[in-house]
Amino acid sequence: MTMQALITDKIQQALNPLHLEVVNESHMHNVPQGSESHFKILVVSDEFEGQMLIKRHRLINQILNQELQQIHAMALHTMSPDEWAEKGVAPASPPCQGAVK
In-domain check, residue 78: yes
Range of the domain at 48: 3-87
Total tally of structural domains belonging to the chain: 1
**If residue 85 lies in a helix (H) or strand (E), which one and from where to where?**
helix 81-87
Q: How confident is the model at residue 31 (pLDDT cuts 50, 70, 90)?
A: low
* Share of residues in the chain with pLDDT > 90 (%): 53
pTM over 0.85: no
pLDDT tens digits along 79-93: 999 999 988 877 777
How does pLDDT run across 56-82, given as a tens digit for each residue? 999 999 999 999 888 877 889 999 999
Helix 53-63 and helix 3-15, axial crossing angle in degrees, nearest 10: 120
Q: Is residue 68 part of a domain?
A: yes
Beta strands 73-79 and 38-44, pairing class = parallel
